[in-house]
Structure 1
């Protein structure tokens, strides 16, 4: 562990940010998985789930959790599968 006060603060700040980022990425991945399974099962609410997944992917790209090209790729594959 760090001895300097500012380094201790930095460790705490980094940990909080890392936890936040990981949870947001996990939410995004879960939303994409749910949307894909709804598309495969031809569920009634698949349009709603795809819309939610696209929103989560956009937010993740906006916050630099994933690259914008990856976000575009994910959204494109969801939209293509949903047709």
Structure 2
């Protein structure tokens, strides 16, 4: 999957949860990614979030905070 696609999808999730209080929004974004994204997509997101590959689109701040709570190995609890 292309990095810009990952960013677009992650930002859509963050936009949905942006109406929630910040702590709940970050948890919602993270939980969605853990439940519905395969480990390979979460790994790709972490690569982008950590600035290891350039992306034309910036990540929503909620995505960055949620990504910081994801385990790099992609072995998150579901």
Common fold by TM > 0.5: no
**TM-score of the aligned structures, taking structure 1 as reference length:** 0.37
More helix by share: 1
Higher RCO structure (Cα 8 Å, ≥6 apart)? 2
**TM-score of the aligned structures, taking structure 2 as reference length:** 0.39
